[in-house]
Chains A and B, each alone.
Chain A
């Protein structure tokens, strides 16, 4: 079971349903949506005007102590201290991940793209970060969602699915290998 915790999503609230369906389809697990039991403002770095994704991971872990895996989904701008921003973050081989839709929009980049592109990007980022919680590292293959993305165009270039090797890494224990 995966717990999805949407918070501060604003106009992107509508993405939650399709992302849940995508996760259930891909991981073959039930996805439960819960409101956050924490104050997201605790992760705000006032100097940077951004939210520390590492603090969100800790808040999510405390909040969802009874869930085997938890994904936070937010609309605020995330960072880790060494970087200007991140699309999302996860505990490698851990329980918690967080993704943000803030930098997934096309407009700030001057890109013209169809409206469904935002949802596709959100799905890919959710799959990618949850892949990290399964212990997967970045994949070299262009046709794998675990390929590293530092630009939205990188996200657009990869599919919303795992390659054969990475799919084995996220398969439930005991699942027959393809």
Chain B
């Protein structure tokens, strides 16, 4: 669905340029008129008005700069972008002096061209006092889908989860920074998605960054992007995640793991909403909302000087606690049924639900790995269950205390324990290996041996 089609005039004597420009902007949904000469363009302007004109500078007869002057007399509101194959400072100055909005050298990067025309349109709308159209209000069908989408994503009716949903609704409509706190596996990313989908920014992207998954050097490029040649191997220019989140929401997961340098860089962007790609000189303005998450004690990290206090205050504006599953036991049957409905078709089973004994066992377990652990347990049960229901013996060994069950072989206990630790650490090998007090290679071998999920 396209919201704001614009009227574009393209003037170039070279067919392939004219044609490819027209096709590019028609795919964007704009109304495009192409002219092969300045004379033809002037005739078109007799009875048509345009928002933006793209004029080739070098044309036989009336050239682009002269056409620029005439176009500006006919319609001073039009934004004119000049196109040249050979940019010189003199040409650029001449064009800008005659009122060109900007100029580009062909061939141009797709992003640069799209962005430039968008800027020209925005500039015209601002000068005309036109507020860019707000996102369309969703059609009833889509609205239902959206509401159902959030409800589907966050399942439960317990007081704890209803309180979380209420907080999401309260904060989503604002532009406040949200800090989501909670143990591993409690669904912090789902909460971030819900905040985004309920917010006015839902028509733009939600971009997720796992701050703990990348070393500092890569994280910098991931967040800020880089120019071609910024470092060895950077063959192309690349947008960073902060830039990709423009208009939308950036979700910074495991924010407590940011290194001191990354904390400084992030703080600067949060304060100025401006950034530079690595190796780039252009300052890029970005408009995004920040939602971040952590399972660590940020206050203790601040006290230990391992997390910047100023960044802490900037992120800790509105906090949502993701409740652990042991505090929402009444949601376990609903969640288990949901995961079973999701898993059964993928493993080719027609399962109708759980036996009372199986449900009782699920509710008695304390789920240290939270909802993720429950989802894994149900998926495993769906694989082994003969049906039509999941029976007690189909469940992986669980107990009420959250420790590995004492039944089964030593290998069973080891397999379950490693799986549990992996789940608790979101599949992160380094942290799981540290928790298990083994080296990474040993953990990899065990994962392979037991065919564990990460």
Interface of A toward B, CB cutoff 8 Å: 48, 54, 79-86, 89-90, 92, 103, 107-112, 132, 137-142, 144, 148, 150-151, 153-154, 157-158, 163-166, 178
Give A128's nearest chain B residue, CB to CB.
Answer: B27
Tell me, in angstroms, the Cα distance from A89 to B235 when the chains sit together. Answer: 23
**Residue pair B20, A80 in contact (C-beta under 8 Å):** yes
Tell me, in angstroms, the Cα distance from A90 to B111 when the chains sit together. Answer: 18
Contacts of A141 in B (CB 8 A): 1, 203
Nearest 4 pairs of A and B residues by beta carbon? A137-B29, A80-B20, A150-B111, A108-B235
B204 → chain A closest CB, angstroms:
6
B141 contacts the other chain (CB 8 A): yes
**Residue pair B27, A83 in contact (C-beta under 8 Å):** no
With a 10 A CB-CB cut-off, give which of A110, A154, A165 has the most chain B CB atoms. A110
**Residue pair A165, B106 in contact (C-beta under 8 Å):** no
Contacts of A82 in B (CB 8 A): 17, 20-21, 24, 83, 106-108, 113
B221 contacts the other chain (CB 8 A): yes
**Residue pair A142, B23 in contact (C-beta under 8 Å):** no
**Residue pair A140, B114 in contact (C-beta under 8 Å):** no
Give A149's nearest chain B residue, CB to CB.
Answer: B110
Interface of B toward A, CB cutoff 8 Å: 1-3, 14, 16-17, 19-21, 23-24, 26-29, 83, 106-111, 113-114, 135, 139, 141-142, 145, 202-207, 214, 218, 221-222, 226, 231, 233-236, 238-239, 241, 244, 248
**Residue pair A139, B1 in contact (C-beta under 8 Å):** yes
Contacts of A151 in B (CB 8 A): 111, 238-239, 244
Give A55's nearest chain B residue, CB to CB.
Answer: B16
Give A108's nearest chain B residue, CB to CB.
Answer: B235
Contacts of A140 in B (CB 8 A): 1-3, 135, 203
B220 → chain A closest CB, angstroms:
11
Tell me, in angstroms, the Cα distance from A154 to B225 when the chains sit together. Answer: 13
Contacts of B205 in A (CB 8 A): 142, 157-158
Contacts of A81 in B (CB 8 A): 14, 16-17, 20, 106-107
**Residue pair B109, A84 in contact (C-beta under 8 Å):** yes
Extra pairs beyond A90-B27, A110-B226 (5, CB < 8 Å) = A81-B106, A84-B110, A140-B1, A157-B244, A178-B141
Contacts of A138 in B (CB 8 A): 2, 27-29
**Residue pair B1, A163 in contact (C-beta under 8 Å):** yes
Tell me, in angstroms, the Cα distance from A140 to B138 when the chains sit together. Answer: 13
Contacts of A83 in B (CB 8 A): 20, 24, 107-110, 113
Tell me, in angstroms, the Cα distance from A166 to B29 when the chains sit together. Answer: 13
Contacts of A84 in B (CB 8 A): 107-110
**Residue pair B238, A110 in contact (C-beta under 8 Å):** yes
With a 10 A CB-CB cut-off, give which of A132, A138, A144, A166 has the most chain B CB atoms. A138
Tell me, in angstroms, the Cα distance from A162 to B222 when the chains sit together. Answer: 27
**Residue pair B233, A137 in contact (C-beta under 8 Å):** no
Contacts of B207 in A (CB 8 A): 157
Tell me, in angstroms, the Cα distance from A178 to B142 when the chains sit together. Answer: 11
B13 → chain A closest CB, angstroms:
13
**Residue pair B234, A153 in contact (C-beta under 8 Å):** no
**Residue pair A142, B203 in contact (C-beta under 8 Å):** yes
**Residue pair A110, B231 in contact (C-beta under 8 Å):** yes
Contacts of B222 in A (CB 8 A): 111
**Residue pair A150, B114 in contact (C-beta under 8 Å):** yes
Contact of B2 among A92, A112, A137 (CB under 8 A): A137
Tell me, in angstroms, the Cα distance from A87 to B226 when the chains sit together. Answer: 20
Contacts of B26 in A (CB 8 A): 92, 137
B412 → chain A closest CB, angstroms:
30
**Residue pair B16, A86 in contact (C-beta under 8 Å):** no
Contacts of A79 in B (CB 8 A): 107
Tell me, in angstroms, the Cα distance from A83 to B116 when the chains sit together. Answer: 13
**Residue pair B108, A164 in contact (C-beta under 8 Å):** no
Tell me, in angstroms, the Cα distance from A86 to B114 when the chains sit together. Answer: 13
**Residue pair B142, A142 in contact (C-beta under 8 Å):** no
Contacts of A112 in B (CB 8 A): 214, 218
**Residue pair A142, B29 in contact (C-beta under 8 Å):** no
B16 → chain A closest CB, angstroms:
4
Contacts of B17 in A (CB 8 A): 81-82
Give A164's nearest chain B residue, CB to CB.
Answer: B142
**Residue pair A132, B110 in contact (C-beta under 8 Å):** no
Contacts of A107 in B (CB 8 A): 233
Contacts of B16 in A (CB 8 A): 54, 81
Tell me, in angstroms, the Cα distance from A150 to B248 when the chains sit together. Answer: 17
Tell me, in angstroms, the Cα distance from A101 to B244 when the chains sit together. Answer: 21
- In the assembled complex, 22 residue pairs joining A and B whose CB atoms fall closer than 8 Å, in A order, are A54-B23, A79-B107, A81-B20, A81-B107, A82-B21, A82-B106, A86-B110, A89-B23, A92-B26, A110-B226, A110-B234, A111-B238, A138-B27, A140-B135, A142-B202, A142-B248, A144-B1, A154-B244, A157-B205, A157-B244, A164-B139, A165-B1
Tell me, in angstroms, the Cα distance from A16 to B83 when the chains sit together. Answer: 38
A123 → chain B closest CB, angstroms:
19
Given the contacts A82-B20, A137-B26, A166 and B109 also touching, CB distance less than 8 Å = no
Tell me, in angstroms, the Cα distance from A80 to B21 when the chains sit together. Answer: 9
With a 10 A CB-CB cut-off, give which of A54, A111, A140 has the most chain B CB atoms. A140
Tell me, in angstroms, the Cα distance from A80 to B239 when the chains sit together. Answer: 21
Tell me, in angstroms, the Cα distance from A37 to B221 when the chains sit together. Answer: 43
**Residue pair A164, B145 in contact (C-beta under 8 Å):** yes
Tell me, in angstroms, the Cα distance from A143 to B50 when the chains sit together. Answer: 31
Give B206's nearest chain A residue, CB to CB.
Answer: A142
B34 → chain A closest CB, angstroms:
12
